[in-house]
Chain A
Amino acid sequence: MSDKHEKQKSKYTLDRQIPGAFDGETVTRRRFMTATVHTTGAIAAASFALPALGLALGPIFKSTPHRWETVGTVDQFPDNNYTPVVVTLTPGIGNAGEATVYVRKFNPEIDTDIYDRGKQFIAISNRCAHLGCPVRWVDAAERFICPCHGGVYNLLGVPVGGPPVRPLDRFYTRVVGEYVQVGPRFSVNSKLRPFSPRDPGEPLDGLGQYLYPSRPGAQKL
């Protein structure tokens, strides 16, 4: 019994025969100094590294304000064909912040999906749902066609050929007086159900909406 007790190391430095030990001391001064210096170094490094990291990562968590932009009058847009308008997504950087939106009046014969009910205008983004190249509306073919990798979409923006993984994004629209305004972007799955805006190349059917979560920076209205 007493043998066992002696083998066990005491927590007191005095019992461990450490030179210069004080009565009741449990941490050696060498150990204490080492921990102090390491902690001070860590605090000093963190005090510049963390703010710098926050500066780099901050924009991920910042929500961007919703913009509404007047694009024309109510009478200007037919209900069986698209009219391209240019809106500014990011102000202050010229053409790089602009995007084309294809606007059409709501047509009850074409827009039969439940998510489109009650809308007055349909606004479709020209950003290809494959990798983000600019699609164009080809009137003769009644298709949106992407120049980069051959994505093809029908009148509703639903892919009918090529690599796109979901329909073209859309924009919220509203009518103020006699003017049509285009608002923030939203993404849709193959049933045209609206989701928070996703980047191109991210499917929204099935598991897609969980594998490619919505981000704080881009939320739907």
Chain B
Amino acid sequence: MPKLPAPPLPSALKAPPPRPGEENGKATPVDQAKEAGITVVDWVDERTSLSGAARWLMFRKVPKGTNWFYTLGSATMFAFLSQAVTGVFLAMYYRPDASGGAYESIRYLTNDVFLGQFVRGMHKWGSTVMVVLVFLHMARTFFFGAYKYPRELNWVIGVVLLILTMVMSFTGYLLPFDQRAYWATIVGLNINGTGPLVGPYLSDFLRGGPEFGATTLSRFYAIHMLLIPGLLAVLIGAHLYLVAKLGTTAPPWQKAESRSELLEAEV
């Protein structure tokens, strides 16, 4: 006996059509989590259009022959990030007090604080790593000829970043305030004082007076953890922007490939 067709149901009682991604059944918690993530990203992207910028920055064309040497710049940036993060947490324990408090706070951090020696060690050795990486990155740029037109401005920014990194090393060296830190800083200040005409005023500025004084240490601390890191972050941003905008160079041994049909057309 043929089955009679079911009477038409009002739309409110009908089962809803499967949502996208639910064709194979009800959405699992994993699907829901994915959906939630996509929703959040979409919400932000709809209001900022950031995905375009991210795509522009991350999915670039790179020349044939790109190799491991091209990662030295990123390695330097991660060394900087490591210094920034460890530095922030070291600042929670450090006291820039020249009458003994600075040395005592470093001693306490190194000997008594959980993981203090480890994090301080990362910051201390990381600074050397960063300087080495900066120079390797500069050598790569120089020997690959990557400083040439149109990338001269990025070379100039890189030189400023190198100088700022050196200033970071110099000002950070005083902070443990032990004998080595004190005398190395005295010698360093006097070396820059030997610059004719401006040298004496420059060392007065760095010391905050004609002699090593009560505010010299806090001055170095402020320069080390506020002034220079801010400049470094801004200039690293400019450096990265130019890298993304101008693209990277092929290594110098990479021969330009001519397309055969163009060669024929030329004859």
Contact = CB atoms under 8 A, between A and B. Distances in A.
Nearest to A149: B187
B214 A92 contact: yes
Contacts of B99: 92-94, 96
B190 A132 contact: yes
Nearest to A198: B200
A133 B185 CA distance: 10
A93 B213 contact: yes
A133 B203 CA distance: 16
Contact of B200 (A62, A96, A212): A212
B214 A199 contact: no
Contact size range, A: 20 to 34
B197 A90 contact: no
A150 interface: no
A213 B205 contact: no
B186 A211 contact: no
A159 B101 CA distance: 37
B196 interface: yes
Contacts of A212: 193-194, 196-197, 199-200
B208 interface: yes
Contacts of A213: 197, 200
Contact of A132 (B100, B186, B199): B186
B205 A56 contact: yes
A199 B200 contact: yes
B98 A202 contact: no
Interface of B: 98-100, 177, 182-183, 186-187, 189-191, 193-194, 196-197, 199-201, 203-205, 207-215
Given A60-B201, A90-B211, A97-B211, 6 more contacts: A56-B205, A59-B209, A93-B99, A94-B100, A132-B189, A148-B187
